[in-house]
Chain A
Amino acid sequence: MESLERIIAEQPFVEGLESYYLQLLVGCAKNVVFEAGHTVFREGEEAHEFYLLRHGKVAIEIHAPQRPPIVVETLADGDVLGWSWLIPPHHWRFTARAVTQVRAIALDGKCLRTKCEANHDLGYELLKRFADIMSRRVDAARYQVIDVYGTGVKK
């Protein structure tokens, strides 16, 4: 468990987090490995966990009938994968697929939600960190839809 704490402590997501809160996170954490091509989670499924990516690359995809999946974003070392565990109804909105072998820390969402309800300081701390991630990803998504590299020329 000490080793897991050390690994989690190295993740950018927990940078500056008090040791007491880190201990609470460690109690809900485990190491996981996904092979390339493995579906980490699928749109619509219940969101039990989120992941701190230690190594490897994950594609966030949207599936549509009769066309290949659309990759909207990739995440890699140091990134956080998934926030649907935090937001009701706790179902994944997208599908996540391992592009390469992925090593990650999985954090049990139900376990963390219970701890956050019992300790609002922990909840606020986590919420601030997730709000920052969400805000950055919304900015990036808005910027992506602008299609800045397009010519503006109709062909």
Chain B
Amino acid sequence: MSPDDPMLPVAYRVEKVSKETRDTFTLVTRRVDRAPRHAFEPGQFSMLYVCAVGELPISISGDTADKQNLTYTVRSVGQVTNQLVSLGVGDTLGVRGPFGAPWPVEEARGKDLVIVAGGIGLAPLRPVLYHVLRRREEYGRLVLLYGARSPQDQLYRKELTHWSQAPETRVLTTVDYGGVNWHGHVGVVTTMFRYVRLRPERTMAMVCGPEIMMRFVARELETRGVERSQIRVSMERNMKCGCGFCGHCQYGPDFICKDGPVFPYDRIQSRLEAYEI
């Protein structure tokens, strides 16, 4: 992962594999050459290359404080991700990056932080949670609203419980479909806002999930008085180069890989509502 050649993958070895859900796995990887891993900021992604199969952008879901490993949470939805989740300890993969604009954790310092995640969208936000919880006194109230399809589809279940015990922190989870034995909330993630009292004038929101979900969440935040400029969303498009050369991820005047994936909502709000972008 030479900074001089962002197109050249570096070999990483899988050190650990954790099954999160029936189709989602977390891979902890380390450089094969034992050199220090490359620095990343919360919200950035890598291009992961499976030899002879293909390459995909995957957000880094690990802790920036872990100086040895790069961690990725991958949901199996296609050819490359199927191969990625099939990797075992000792297998190698190619890593390029990290790329992209991160979550503004420094700008959020001193503010209340509302993190809204849907499905696999919790993965790119997990580094933010690690960052904030390690510096808890430097931030205001922390609220995590997490929606998943079903109880079995929730990521990082043990960590969700752990995070909810942090001071001045609320973690509310909900599922779209809950069985009769599920005693948690049922309903889309936007419905969780009615259980939290925001201080909109001092709130920054970070939102990641399916695009439709982010649109609804951003509107809900606006309804509750949070300024558009204080809402960040993480976008996703097909990517090839990861560094703004190829144009595959063009999104209006921006490239998701280079100018995003994290965008201020006020910059892309009109595009989020457009039909053909």
Contact = CB atoms under 8 A, between A and B. Distances in A.
Interface of A: 12, 57, 59, 61, 68-74, 76-79, 99-100, 136, 139-140, 143-144, 146-151, 153
B190 A143 contact: yes
B209 A148 contact: yes
8 contacts: A57-B183, A61-B180, A71-B177, A100-B183, A148-B212, A149-B119, A150-B149, A153-B77
A59 B183 CA distance: 9
A151 B182 CA distance: 23
Contacts of A139: 190, 216
B190 A59 contact: no
Given A73-B186, A140-B188, A148 B118 contact: yes
B179 interface: yes
Interface in B172-217: 174, 176-180, 182-188, 190-191, 194-195, 209-210, 212-213, 216
B224 to A, nearest CB: 13
Contacts, number: 73
Interface string B149-188: 1000100000000000000000000101111101111111
Nearest to B180: A68
A71 B178 contact: yes
Given A79-B194, A143-B190, A149 B182 contact: no
A144 B187 contact: yes
A77 B210 CA distance: 28
B148 interface: yes
Contacts of B36: none
Given A143-B216, A144-B176, A71 B149 contact: no
A152 to B, nearest CB: 8
CB-CB nearest 9 A-B residue pairs: A149-B119, A149-B149, A148-B210, A74-B186, A151-B77, A143-B188, A71-B186, A73-B187, A71-B178
B152 to A, nearest CB: 12
A118 to B, nearest CB: 32
A5 to B, nearest CB: 23
Interface string B88-119: 00000000000000000000000000000011
Interface size class of B (residues with CB under 8 A): 20 to 34
Main SS of chain A's interface residues? mixed
Contacts of B191: 73, 136, 140
B3 interface: no
A57 B184 CA distance: 9
Interface of B: 23, 75, 77-78, 118-119, 147-149, 153, 174, 176-180, 182-188, 190-191, 194-195, 209-210, 212-213, 216
Given A68-B179, A68-B180, A144-B176, A76 B185 contact: yes
Contacts of A146: 212
Contacts of B183: 57, 99-100
A41 to B, nearest CB: 17
B182 A71 contact: yes
A147 B195 CA distance: 23
A72 B212 CA distance: 20
Contacts of B78: 153
Contacts of A79: 194
Contacts of B184: 74
A100 B184 CA distance: 10
Contact of B118 (A99, A136, A140, A149): A149
Contacts of A143: 188, 190, 212-213, 216
A149 B195 contact: no
Nearest to B194: A78
A78 B118 CA distance: 24
Nearest to A72: B186
Given A144-B187, A148-B210, A148-B212, A77 B180 contact: no
